[in-house]
Amino acid sequence: MRGVEDNYRHILDRIAEACARTGRSPEEVNVIAITKYVSLETTRAALDAGIMHIGESKAQNAVPKWEQLGNRGNWHFIGHLQTNKVGAILGKFTYLHSLDRLSLAKELEKKGKQAGVVTRCMVQVNISGEETKQGLSPEEVLPFLKDIESYQHLEVIGLMTMAPYVEDPEETRWVFRNLREMRNQLQKEQLANAPLQHLSMGMSNDYEVAVEEGATFIRIGTALVGNEID
Ligand SMILES: *Cc1c(COP(=O)(O)O)cnc(C)c1O
Protein backbone atom coordinates (compact mmCIF):
# COMPACT_ATOMS: atom_id res chain seq x y z
CA MET A 1 0.00 0.00 0.00
CA ARG A 2 1.08 3.55 -0.67
CA GLY A 3 1.69 5.90 2.21
CA VAL A 4 -0.92 8.28 3.56
CA GLU A 5 0.74 11.24 1.88
CA ASP A 6 0.58 9.63 -1.57
CA ASN A 7 -3.00 8.57 -1.02
CA TYR A 8 -3.93 12.06 0.08
CA ARG A 9 -2.34 13.65 -2.98
CA HIS A 10 -4.15 11.20 -5.24
CA ILE A 11 -7.50 11.93 -3.55
CA LEU A 12 -6.97 15.70 -3.75
CA ASP A 13 -6.31 15.34 -7.49
CA ARG A 14 -9.52 13.41 -7.97
CA ILE A 15 -11.47 15.95 -5.93
CA ALA A 16 -10.02 18.74 -8.09
CA GLU A 17 -11.13 16.88 -11.22
CA ALA A 18 -14.64 16.26 -9.85
CA CYS A 19 -14.86 19.96 -8.96
CA ALA A 20 -13.66 21.00 -12.41
CA ARG A 21 -16.34 18.81 -14.01
CA THR A 22 -19.08 20.52 -11.99
CA GLY A 23 -17.83 24.09 -11.62
CA ARG A 24 -17.12 23.84 -7.91
CA SER A 25 -14.16 25.17 -5.99
CA PRO A 26 -12.00 22.44 -4.40
CA GLU A 27 -11.68 24.62 -1.29
CA GLU A 28 -15.31 23.81 -0.50
CA VAL A 29 -14.45 20.14 -0.03
CA ASN A 30 -12.99 19.04 3.30
CA VAL A 31 -11.38 15.63 3.56
CA ILE A 32 -11.91 13.81 6.86
CA ALA A 33 -9.49 10.94 7.44
CA ILE A 34 -11.53 8.17 9.06
CA THR A 35 -9.07 6.50 11.39
CA LYS A 36 -11.37 3.97 13.07
CA TYR A 37 -9.47 1.00 11.61
CA VAL A 38 -5.94 2.32 12.17
CA SER A 39 -3.44 2.91 14.96
CA LEU A 40 -2.48 6.07 16.77
CA GLU A 41 0.72 6.16 14.67
CA THR A 42 -1.19 6.08 11.38
CA THR A 43 -3.55 8.73 12.71
CA ARG A 44 -0.53 10.89 13.49
CA ALA A 45 0.80 10.23 9.97
CA ALA A 46 -2.48 11.58 8.56
CA LEU A 47 -2.05 14.81 10.50
CA ASP A 48 1.61 14.99 9.43
CA ALA A 49 0.48 14.69 5.81
CA GLY A 50 -1.48 17.91 6.26
CA ILE A 51 -4.95 16.45 6.74
CA MET A 52 -6.96 18.85 8.89
CA HIS A 53 -9.86 16.61 9.91
CA ILE A 54 -9.91 13.28 11.76
CA GLY A 55 -13.02 11.10 12.13
CA GLU A 56 -13.71 8.27 14.58
CA SER A 57 -16.79 6.17 15.21
CA LYS A 58 -16.47 4.52 18.63
CA ALA A 59 -16.02 6.53 21.83
CA GLN A 60 -13.77 3.98 23.50
CA ASN A 61 -11.23 4.16 20.64
CA ALA A 62 -11.80 7.79 19.78
CA VAL A 63 -11.16 9.41 23.14
CA PRO A 64 -7.69 7.86 23.75
CA LYS A 65 -6.59 9.06 20.29
CA TRP A 66 -7.97 12.51 20.98
CA GLU A 67 -6.04 12.59 24.26
CA GLN A 68 -2.79 12.09 22.34
CA LEU A 69 -3.48 14.17 19.25
CA GLY A 70 -6.50 16.34 20.02
CA ASN A 71 -4.45 19.53 20.01
CA ARG A 72 -3.97 18.99 16.25
CA GLY A 73 -6.71 19.13 13.65
CA ASN A 74 -10.50 19.08 13.95
CA TRP A 75 -12.12 15.99 15.42
CA HIS A 76 -15.30 14.49 14.04
CA PHE A 77 -17.47 11.82 15.62
CA ILE A 78 -19.14 9.90 12.80
CA GLY A 79 -20.58 6.75 14.39
CA HIS A 80 -23.73 5.93 16.31
CA LEU A 81 -23.42 7.81 19.61
CA GLN A 82 -25.00 6.35 22.73
CA THR A 83 -26.62 9.02 24.83
CA ASN A 84 -24.55 8.03 27.86
CA LYS A 85 -21.33 8.70 25.87
CA VAL A 86 -22.11 12.35 25.14
CA GLY A 87 -20.07 13.51 28.13
CA ALA A 88 -17.05 11.55 26.90
CA ILE A 89 -16.83 13.31 23.55
CA LEU A 90 -18.30 16.75 24.29
CA GLY A 91 -15.85 19.57 23.75
CA LYS A 92 -13.35 17.14 22.21
CA PHE A 93 -15.17 16.05 19.08
CA THR A 94 -16.50 19.42 18.00
CA TYR A 95 -18.31 17.90 15.00
CA LEU A 96 -20.94 15.17 15.26
CA HIS A 97 -22.13 13.63 11.97
CA SER A 98 -24.67 11.24 13.44
CA LEU A 99 -27.39 13.26 15.15
CA ASP A 100 -30.34 10.94 14.64
CA ARG A 101 -32.77 11.26 17.55
CA LEU A 102 -34.30 13.64 20.03
CA SER A 103 -32.85 11.95 23.14
CA LEU A 104 -29.35 12.55 21.76
CA ALA A 105 -30.09 16.19 20.93
CA LYS A 106 -31.49 16.72 24.43
CA GLU A 107 -28.37 15.32 26.03
CA LEU A 108 -26.08 17.42 23.80
CA GLU A 109 -28.07 20.49 24.77
CA LYS A 110 -28.06 19.66 28.48
CA LYS A 111 -24.38 18.73 28.76
CA GLY A 112 -23.38 21.49 26.33
CA LYS A 113 -25.12 24.06 28.48
CA GLN A 114 -23.35 22.82 31.61
CA ALA A 115 -19.97 22.93 29.89
CA GLY A 116 -20.56 26.05 27.80
CA VAL A 117 -19.90 24.09 24.59
CA VAL A 118 -21.72 24.22 21.26
CA THR A 119 -21.48 21.02 19.18
CA ARG A 120 -21.62 21.35 15.40
CA CYS A 121 -23.97 18.61 14.26
CA MET A 122 -25.08 17.02 11.06
CA VAL A 123 -28.41 15.25 11.02
CA GLN A 124 -27.98 11.74 9.66
CA VAL A 125 -30.58 10.90 7.05
CA ASN A 126 -31.33 7.45 5.73
CA ILE A 127 -31.96 8.44 2.13
CA SER A 128 -31.57 4.97 0.65
CA GLY A 129 -34.08 3.38 3.04
CA GLU A 130 -31.79 0.41 3.72
CA GLU A 131 -32.83 -1.17 6.99
CA THR A 132 -29.24 -1.59 8.14
CA LYS A 133 -28.54 2.15 7.92
CA GLN A 134 -28.96 4.54 10.81
CA GLY A 135 -30.60 7.90 10.46
CA LEU A 136 -33.92 9.66 10.25
CA SER A 137 -36.16 8.98 7.29
CA PRO A 138 -36.41 12.02 4.98
CA GLU A 139 -39.90 12.97 6.17
CA GLU A 140 -38.81 12.95 9.82
CA VAL A 141 -36.10 15.57 9.36
CA LEU A 142 -38.09 18.82 9.29
CA PRO A 143 -40.23 17.94 12.35
CA PHE A 144 -37.03 16.95 14.16
CA LEU A 145 -35.32 20.24 13.28
CA LYS A 146 -38.36 22.16 14.52
CA ASP A 147 -38.32 20.21 17.79
CA ILE A 148 -34.73 21.24 18.49
CA GLU A 149 -34.83 24.76 17.07
CA SER A 150 -34.61 26.39 20.50
CA TYR A 151 -31.48 24.42 21.48
CA GLN A 152 -28.54 26.78 21.71
CA HIS A 153 -25.76 24.31 22.43
CA LEU A 154 -25.94 22.55 19.15
CA GLU A 155 -25.74 24.04 15.71
CA VAL A 156 -27.09 21.99 12.84
CA ILE A 157 -24.47 22.75 10.23
CA GLY A 158 -25.63 20.15 7.73
CA LEU A 159 -26.95 16.77 6.73
CA MET A 160 -25.10 13.47 6.51
CA THR A 161 -25.86 10.27 4.67
CA MET A 162 -24.28 6.96 3.76
CA ALA A 163 -24.99 5.47 0.36
CA PRO A 164 -25.38 1.71 -0.05
CA TYR A 165 -22.15 0.00 -1.08
CA VAL A 166 -22.22 -0.75 -4.80
CA GLU A 167 -19.53 -1.59 -7.36
CA ASP A 168 -20.46 1.31 -9.60
CA PRO A 169 -21.02 4.49 -7.54
CA GLU A 170 -23.03 6.02 -10.39
CA GLU A 171 -25.86 3.80 -9.19
CA THR A 172 -26.09 5.72 -5.93
CA ARG A 173 -25.71 9.23 -7.32
CA TRP A 174 -29.41 9.73 -6.59
CA VAL A 175 -28.76 9.31 -2.85
CA PHE A 176 -26.33 12.23 -2.82
CA ARG A 177 -28.51 14.33 -5.09
CA ASN A 178 -31.54 13.74 -2.84
CA LEU A 179 -29.60 14.82 0.23
CA ARG A 180 -28.53 18.05 -1.49
CA GLU A 181 -32.06 18.82 -2.71
CA MET A 182 -33.42 18.10 0.74
CA ARG A 183 -30.86 20.43 2.30
CA ASN A 184 -31.79 23.18 -0.18
CA GLN A 185 -35.45 22.84 0.77
CA LEU A 186 -34.75 22.84 4.51
CA GLN A 187 -32.56 25.93 4.27
CA LYS A 188 -35.64 27.86 3.13
CA GLU A 189 -37.15 27.26 6.59
CA GLN A 190 -34.43 29.54 8.04
CA LEU A 191 -34.39 27.69 11.34
CA ALA A 192 -32.56 29.60 14.06
CA ASN A 193 -29.87 27.02 14.82
CA ALA A 194 -29.72 25.23 11.45
CA PRO A 195 -27.72 27.02 8.76
CA LEU A 196 -27.23 23.66 7.02
CA GLN A 197 -24.29 24.79 4.95
CA HIS A 198 -22.63 21.36 4.91
CA LEU A 199 -23.25 18.03 3.21
CA SER A 200 -21.33 15.11 4.73
CA MET A 201 -21.38 12.43 2.08
CA GLY A 202 -18.96 10.25 0.14
CA MET A 203 -16.60 7.49 1.31
CA SER A 204 -13.65 5.62 -0.25
CA ASN A 205 -15.65 4.07 -3.06
CA ASP A 206 -18.00 6.91 -3.96
CA TYR A 207 -16.48 10.25 -2.97
CA GLU A 208 -16.04 11.54 -6.52
CA VAL A 209 -19.75 11.21 -7.24
CA ALA A 210 -20.53 12.78 -3.85
CA VAL A 211 -18.28 15.75 -4.65
CA GLU A 212 -19.99 16.18 -8.01
CA GLU A 213 -23.29 16.32 -6.09
CA GLY A 214 -22.11 18.95 -3.62
CA ALA A 215 -20.35 17.22 -0.70
CA THR A 216 -18.46 19.60 1.60
CA PHE A 217 -17.20 16.90 3.99
CA ILE A 218 -16.08 13.58 2.58
CA ARG A 219 -15.29 10.78 5.01
CA ILE A 220 -12.46 8.59 3.71
CA GLY A 221 -11.02 5.66 5.59
CA THR A 222 -9.62 2.78 3.57
CA ALA A 223 -8.50 4.72 0.49
CA LEU A 224 -6.63 7.27 2.59
CA VAL A 225 -5.23 5.69 5.75
CA GLY A 226 -5.92 2.03 4.99
CA ASN A 227 -7.39 -0.63 7.20
CA GLU A 228 -4.97 -2.25 9.65
CA ILE A 229 -7.55 -4.53 11.21
CA ASP A 230 -8.45 -6.92 8.38
C1 LIG B 1 -16.11 3.76 8.26
C2 LIG B 1 -16.89 4.93 7.81
C3 LIG B 1 -16.44 5.71 6.72
C4 LIG B 1 -15.18 5.40 5.92
O5 LIG B 1 -15.34 4.25 5.16
P6 LIG B 1 -14.30 3.84 3.98
O7 LIG B 1 -15.13 3.05 3.04
O8 LIG B 1 -13.22 3.06 4.64
O9 LIG B 1 -13.81 5.09 3.37
C10 LIG B 1 -17.20 6.81 6.39
N11 LIG B 1 -18.33 7.13 7.04
C12 LIG B 1 -18.78 6.41 8.08
C13 LIG B 1 -20.04 6.82 8.76
C14 LIG B 1 -18.09 5.28 8.48
O15 LIG B 1 -18.55 4.56 9.52
In ligand 1, the atom with minimum distance to the C-alpha of 36 is 1
Q: Mean per-residue pLDDT for 33-41? A: 97
Q: Which tens digits make up the pLDDT trace of 57-78? A: 999 999 999 999 999 999 999 9
Ligand 1: centre distance to CA 56 (Å): 9
Q: What is the pLDDT of residue 29?
A: 98
Q: Which of 1, 11, 34 to mutate to test the pocket of ligand 1 (most atoms within 8 A of CB)?
A: 34
**For the chain, how many residues are written?**
230
Q: Which of 172, 203, 211, 229 to mutate to test the pocket of ligand 1 (most atoms within 8 A of CB)?
A: 203
Which pTM value belongs to this model? 0.97
Q: Which tens digits make up the pLDDT trace of 187-196? A: 999 999 999 9
CATH of 4-225 among 3.60.150.10, 3.40.50.300, 3.20.20.10, 3.40.50.720: 3.20.20.10
Q: Which tens digits make up the pLDDT trace of 109-155? A: 999 999 999 999 999 999 999 888 899 999 999 999 999 999 999 99
- Start-end of H helices in 53-193: 59-69, 86-89, 102-115, 138-147, 173-187
Q: Does residue 1 carry a pLDDT above 60?
A: no
The residue ranges of every structural domain in the chain are: 4-225
CA dihedral of 59, 53, 95, 122, whole degrees rounded to 10: -110
In ligand 1, the atom with minimum distance to the C-alpha of 204 is 9
Of the pLDDT bands very low, low, confident and very high (cuts 50, 70, 90), residue 230 is: low
Q: Mean per-residue pLDDT for 7-23? A: 98
Q: Mean per-residue pLDDT for 11-38? A: 98
Ligand 1: centre distance to CA 221 (Å): 6
147-160: b or e for each residue (b if 16 or more CB lie within 10 Å)?
Answer: ebeebebbbbbbbb
Ligand 1 site, CB within 6 A: 34, 36, 57, 78-79, 162, 203-204, 219-223
